[in-house]
Amino acid sequence: MFNSGSPSSPGVSKAELEFAKAEMISQMITRENLNTAIGRSGWVSLGTLSLSGKNFIDLTNVSSDANELDLALQGVSTTATSSMYARVYGETGSLLSSGYYGYLNNLAGSTLSSVAESPGDAAILAGSLLANGYMSGGIRLRRQLGNTWRIESSVFDAANRSMFSCHVTTAVGVGITGIRLLLGTAGVTWDDGSVTTRWRR
């Protein structure tokens, strides 16, 4: 259930804070992409894949001792309205379909709303994506402590002046070996766009 956000500090709205955080994450990913290109940061690239015609996509071949995984979405659109989710693969190669805790923020124009996920069967990355929208953004998975992972994302839909940001944690046995991106509505597929993936220890 969506709830209205409230200001976090005098003179600065929660919406403004969320937008600033999303901008900071985007700048960090851009900076690290440059480091990867010049061979500084130890990233392993899994390449760029088209999403067109798919309801889900599996991005695997990640080492179970990885500590970080980055995904970049570019020019993504859908055939109809649908939410977008992520599930991780554990070290045995099986999908984790429970135990996702966190929330999703949606900034539409100047209105901020949020939905809780505790627990969920997948990490919600964006809610009610519209078919006329074109989305871009980043998704980052980071090992926090031991087997606990944090999933963060910032996805922008310029056509509808909307931004989604998720903050979710989940626990796996030893490590993750991949991630599945999926649309939550049966029969809906992506009809454009791509995802680029990389990981590092």
Q: pLDDT tens for residues 24-39?
A: 766 666 666 655 544 4
pLDDT band at 162 (very low <50, low <70, confident <90, very high): confident
φ and ψ at 179, to 5 degrees?
-145, 145
pLDDT of res. 39: 44
Q: 72: domain range?
A: 3-200
Q: Max CA-CA distance within the chain?
A: 49
Please tell me the pTM assigned to this model. 0.76
Question: For the chain, what is the domain count?
Answer: 1
- Contacting residues for 110 by C-beta, under 8 A, at least 6 apart: 15
C-beta of residue 41 within 8 angstroms of C-beta of residue 161: no
Q: CA-CA distance, 58 to 40, in Å (whole number)?
A: 27
Partners of 4 in beta bridges? 113
Nearest to 25 by CA among 153, 166, 170: 153
CA dist 117 → 11, 44, 100, 191 (Å): 29, 31, 7, 28
CA distance 113 to 108: 8
Q: How confident is the model at residue 12 (pLDDT cuts 50, 70, 90)?
A: low
Cis-peptide into 119, omega within 30 deg? yes
Q: Give yes or no for a contact between 141 and 149, defined as CB atoms under 8 angstroms apart.
A: yes
